[in-house]
Amino acid sequence: MRDSTQHWQKILAEGFSSTDELLQFLNLPNTPNSGLAEKTFKTRVPRGFARRMEPGNPFDPLLRQVLASPEELNEQPGFEKDPLDESSSNLIEGLIHKYNGRVLLTITGSCAINCRYCFRRHFPYNKNNPGRQGWENALSYIAGDAGIKEVIFSGGDPLLASDTLIQYLYERLANIPHVNTIRIHTRIPIVLPERIQDSLLKILKHPRIKTVVVVHSNHPHELSDEVKAASQALRQAECHLLNQSVLLRGVNDDAKTLASLSEQLFAMDILPYYLHLLDKVQGAHHFDVSLKQAQMIYRDLQTILPGYLVPRLVKEIPGEKNKTLCSVNFFANTTE
């Protein structure tokens, strides 16, 4: 079986699992009280990602994304545990059907990296690993609704799933005639490019199903040569590559950084897709950029880049049937 421990799983297991360890590696002093924040959401950082950080720089934009901070413990009004109200659209185990034509399958609970701003930090993952039996329910739900054209693999990070599970889902979904696209929302090509190996690529390159891979990168420093090699391999497997970012205070909240991110992604054949406003999740308020500030940054970005390199600035509003565009509309007076 291919599920025996693979090279990438070993690399994953060797990643940093505490802030102390990570800070020591970067020649930085320990931050007091980060241990408490780690209790609710543990530290997880692949070594390859940490090597792209600048040693000795406590404000490194990659470090800031993963460094557990005592600030997470301050509860702030308006920042909730389930800001997207996902538990209410999660009627079948492992399946979220909020948007027209698309369903989301949460096929793994964990990630290769734990991003401190992530809205999934409070998500009840254990309820969303239905196991092989449980997948049958999700698959018959999809088979029974001819309006579903696209199935999105999400998580956690879906590429942490075994090749065996991914292949099983591809085969089953390919037998449903109205499903024509599988989209994979993953940070793995950025944070653990070693996982993009031939056995996986063979599954993603499907004769009938189109594969779209939406990676998640927030800063140009994340894009190493290994990441480039992984994206080339995905392109050769005929995957369409897009990127989504989250606008994060102290990480990428300026037009120059975002422009450089778009340009460097494009050099790897990855097109910018979404720039998300932060979901207001408890513990992530220190990453928040106000809507007004975001719109100012976005306008600057539009003056720097060609249109196809400008991601859509969006926000997820619970109850809405799609993500909500947040760029300033010339014809409407934006409120808030």
Ligand X SMILES: *Cc1c(COP(=O)(O)O)cnc(C)c1O
Residues that bind ligand X (CB under 6 A): 96, 98-99, 102, 104, 152, 316, 322-323
User: Does 118 sit near ligand SF4 (CB under 6 A)?
Assistant: yes
Least distance between ligand X and beta carbon 273 (Å): 7
Q: Residue 113 binds which entry of ligand X, ligand SF4, none, with Cβ cut-offs from 5 to 8 Å by kind?
A: ligand SF4
Least distance between ligand SF4 and beta carbon 115 (Å): 3
Q: Are the C-beta atoms of residues 222 and 277 closer than 8 Å to each other?
A: no
Q: Residue 216 binds which entry of ligand SF4, ligand X, none, with Cβ cut-offs from 5 to 8 Å by kind?
A: ligand SF4
- Non-local (6+) Cβ contacts of 113 within 8 A are 15, 44, 45, 46, 49, 66, 187, 191, 192
- Please say which residue, 192 or 209, places its beta carbon nearer to ligand SF4: 192
Q: Residue 324 binds which entry of ligand X, ligand SF4, none, with Cβ cut-offs from 5 to 8 Å by kind?
A: none
User: Could you say which of 108, 114, 244, 282 contacts ligand SF4 (CB under 6 A)?
Assistant: 114
Site size with ligand SF4, rule: CB under 6 A: 10
- Please say which residue, 57 or 327, places its beta carbon nearer to ligand X: 327
Helix axis angle, 163-174 to 131-143, nearest 10°: 20
Distance of alpha carbon 245 from alpha carbon 213, whole angstroms: 14
- Please say which residue, 50 or 246, places its beta carbon nearer to ligand X: 246
Least distance between ligand SF4 and beta carbon 81 (Å): 15
User: Does 242 sit near ligand SF4 (CB under 6 A)?
Assistant: no
Q: Are the C-beta atoms of residues 219 and 261 closer than 8 Å to each other?
A: yes
User: Could you say which of 96, 111, 173, 196 contacts ligand SF4 (CB under 6 A)?
Assistant: 111
Least distance between ligand SF4 and beta carbon 159 (Å): 10
Residues 192-231 that bind ligand SF4 (CB under 6 A): 216
The 3-state secondary structure of 104-155 reads EEECCCCCCCCCCCCHHHHCCHHHHCCHHHHHHHHHHHHHCCCCCCEEEEEC
Least distance between ligand X and beta carbon 323 (Å): 5
CB atoms within 10 A of CB 264: 18
Q: Are the C-beta atoms of residues 164 and 131 closer than 8 Å to each other?
A: no
CB atoms within 10 A of CB 262: 25
As to burial, measured by CB atoms within 10 angstroms (0-12 exposed, 13-18 middle, 19+ buried), residue 29 is exposed
- Please say which residue, 187 or 219, places its beta carbon nearer to ligand SF4: 187
Q: Whats the size of the chain, residue-wise?
A: 336
User: Does 107 sit near ligand SF4 (CB under 6 A)?
Assistant: no
Least distance between ligand X and beta carbon 76 (Å): 23
Strand 312-315 to strand 240-246: parallel, antiparallel, or no bridges (unpaired)? Answer: unpaired
Q: What is the DSSP string of 189-218?
A: HHH-GGG--HHHHHHHS-SSSEEEEEEE--
Query: For residue 216, which of 207, 206, 208, 227 has the smallest C-alpha distance?
Result: 227
Least distance between ligand SF4 and beta carbon 42 (Å): 11
- Please say which residue, 98 or 116, places its beta carbon nearer to ligand X: 98
Q: Which residues bind ligand SF4 (CB under 6 A)?
A: 111, 113-115, 118, 120, 155, 157, 187, 216
